[in-house]
Amino acid sequence: QQQVKQSPQSLIVQKGGISIINCAYENTAFDYFPWYQQFPGKGPALLIAIRPDVSEKKEGRFTISFNKSAKQFSLHIMDSQPGDSATYFCAASRDPSGFYFGTGTSLTVIP
Amino acid sequence: EAGVAQSPRYKIIEKRQSVAFWCNPISGHATLYWYQQILGQGPKLLIQFQNNGVVDDSQLPKDRFSAERLKGVDSTLKIQPAKLEDSAVYLCASSSIRWGGHYEQYFGPGTRLTVT
């Protein structure tokens, strides 16, 4: 059973555009929702994370929107750049253990 | 600050053989994770250690996979015997849980295992 569902599987965006990736979860015990960026041949790197008591968090060009009632959260990348081309994973975790990743979104930003 | 170290980076073995992976976490990080990432999928947590104790191994195929973290620092993950479906990248991550439960995980580069 997939604990975290992620869409779309792939995304192509023009430079300067907005990239939006969505995730949904079922387990209401999850209390930590991070997004990771992964480049080929590298391990995932934490991009931004949110807790369920906050509806939005922004760090630079990256924003997480969180809808607790709908059990959904999304990543918005503003002013997308070619260097943002990578695979993005959402994840959900509960204290003290259990870490579940989505299936990933391959983002390509066209110059 | 040195990152998470893993070795080897690549390994090719035949099915039914054994293989072991090594991970050295960031100094001072009490929590260590092993993940399996099959090509085109997200990482799947295999086992989580807090110091040298197991916190979660619910998704570890215990008939063939084993892991240990002696002295609460380095860790090894072993597969014995390997199957074709074990071909994947094995990622190690570590974290230092701060007050408030911030689970920022730092990942190593991974070990790419190919089983033929």
Comparing CB atoms, the residue among A34, A43, A49 nearest residue B91 is: A43
Q: How far is CA B20 from the centre of its chain?
A: 10
Which residue, A9, A11, A28, is CA-closest to A19? A11
Q: Between these two residues, A78 and A1, which has the higher pLDDT value? A: A78
Note the pLDDT of residue B1.
Answer: 62
Which residue, B45, B71, B66, B65, is CA-closest to B56? B45
- Count of H helices and E strands in chain A? 0, 11
Note the pLDDT of residue B104.
Answer: 83
* Residue the block writes with tokens 């300067």: A16
Report whether pLDDT(B16) > 50. yes
**C-beta atoms of A104 and B107 within 8 A:** no
Nearest CA-CA distance, residue A70 and chain B, Å: 23
| CB-CB neighbors (< 8 A) of B109 in chain A | 41-43
**Beta carbons within 10 angstroms of residue B45's beta carbon:** 23
- Which one of B94, B96, B103 makes the best mutation probe of the A interface by having the most chain A beta carbons within 10 Å? B103
Cα distance between residue B39 and residue A97, in whole Å: 25
Cα distance between residue A7 and residue A90, in whole Å: 10
Predicted confidence band of residue B49 (pLDDT cuts 50, 70, 90): very high
Predicted confidence band of residue B99 (pLDDT cuts 50, 70, 90): very low
All residues at 6 or more sequence positions from A33 whose CB lies less than 8 Å from its CB, including other chains: A23, A25, A49, A50, A51, A52, A64, A66, A73, A90, A91, A92, A93
Query: Contact at 8 Å (CB) between B80 and B18?
Result: yes
Question: Which letter does DSSP use for residue A32 in this model?
Answer: B
Cα distance between residue B21 and residue A57, in whole Å: 37
Cα distance between residue B35 and residue B43, in whole Å: 6
**pLDDT tens-place string over residues A56-106:** 999 999 999 999 999 999 999 999 999 999 999 999 988 777 789 999 999
Note the pLDDT of residue B80.
Answer: 97
User: Which tokens hold the place of A93?
Assistant: 């975790």
**Beta carbons within 10 angstroms of residue A84's beta carbon:** 18
**C-beta atoms of A98 and B41 within 8 A:** no
Query: Measured between alpha carbons, how far is residue A50 from residues A53, A58, A67, B56 in Å?
Result: 8, 10, 11, 23
Cα distance between residue A81 and residue A16, in whole Å: 6
Note the pLDDT of residue A34.
Answer: 93
| CB-CB neighbors (< 8 A) of B44 in chain A | 101
Predicted confidence band of residue B98 (pLDDT cuts 50, 70, 90): low
Q: Between these two residues, B116 and A95, which has the higher pLDDT value? A: B116
Nearest CA-CA distance, residue B97 and chain A, Å: 10
E-only strand ranges, A15-104: 19-25, 33-38, 45-50, 56-59, 62-67, 72-77, 86-93, 99-101
- Which one of B9, B35, B105, B111 makes the best mutation probe of the A interface by having the most chain A beta carbons within 10 Å? B105
